[in-house]
Amino acid sequence: MAHHPAQHENFTRRVPDGDNRERFVCDDCGLIHYDNPKIVVGAVVTYGEKFLLCRRAIHPRKGFWTLPAGFLEEHESTEDGARREAYEEATAHIVIEQLLAVYNVPRISQVQLIYKAHLTEPVFSPGIESLDVALFSWDEIPWDELAFPSVVWGLNQFREIDGQGPFSPFTNPAGETVSR
């Protein structure tokens, strides 16, 4: 059974032997609880010239539009996770083409892997975490209602390479960090 500091009184925050940063360490058995960054997987999904976006039914940023994305599950590849999230949020079956970007969001201990993907047919509907799902042309994208900076980054970086051959994955735009 896994120990977690919030569930046990005998965890103390200290630097374990051989480590260089504070961790929660069980005073009884010495178990070290590592609280590591979370991996988010998702995709910029297109159908023809249009982009698939989901209006969030959950917090944070409920009511705002986002790419289909979410936390990677244990024992799941990043590609499988991106496909699962597209199905959970948009009941969409996507075809992954290539890794588009790797975003670092250290403020919330997140790493986001965003793929370039497409729908083979325009079949989708809101999943349990979405209020609505829609295809938008570039000029129809509700830019002022996008949930997160990384959604803007992904859409813009997709447009930068659209129609090109192989490309190297992007990272955070120069000087960009996430403030919310």
pLDDT at position 1 is 46
Contact assessment for residue 16 and residue 32, using Cβ atoms and an 8 Å cutoff: yes
Tens digit of pLDDT per residue, the chain (180 long)?
A: 455 555 556 888 999 888 898 988 888 888 888 888 899 999 999 999 999 999 999 999 999 999 999 999 999 999 999 999 999 999 999 999 999 999 999 989 999 999 999 999 999 999 999 999 999 999 999 999 999 999 999 999 999 999 888 899 999 998 776 544
Q: CB neighbours of 81 closer than 8 A, spacing ≥ 6?
A: 39, 41, 70, 71, 72, 73
Check whether residue 136 and residue 51 sit in a common domain. Answer: yes
Q: Is residue 179 domain-resident?
A: no
Give the distance, in angstroms, between the CA of residue 65 and the centroid of all CA atoms in the same chain: 14
The parent domain of residue 25 ranges over 1-35
Q: Are both 15 and 84 inside the same structural domain?
A: no
Distance of CA 84 to the CA centre of its chain: 12
pLDDT for 180 equals 44
Q: Are residues 53 and 28 in the same domain?
A: no
Q: Are residues 55 and 6 both part of a single domain?
A: no
Strand (E) or helix (H) holding 23: strand 23-26
How far apart are the C-alpha atoms of 55 and 134, rounded to whole Å?
A: 8
Q: Name residue 50's amino acid.
A: K
Same domain, 106 and 129: yes
- Report the distance separating Cα 93 and Cα 88, nearest Å: 10
Cβ atoms of 58 and 129 closer than 8 Å: yes
Please report whether residue 74 resides in a domain. yes
Q: State how far Cα 143 lies from the chain centre.
A: 18
Six-digit token string for 50: 């249009």
What is the separation, in whole angstroms, between the first and last Cα of the chain?
Answer: 34
pTM as predicted:
0.85
Residues 87 and 4 in one domain: no
Total domain count, the chain: 2
- Nearest by Cα to 78 from 55, 105, 98, 58: 98
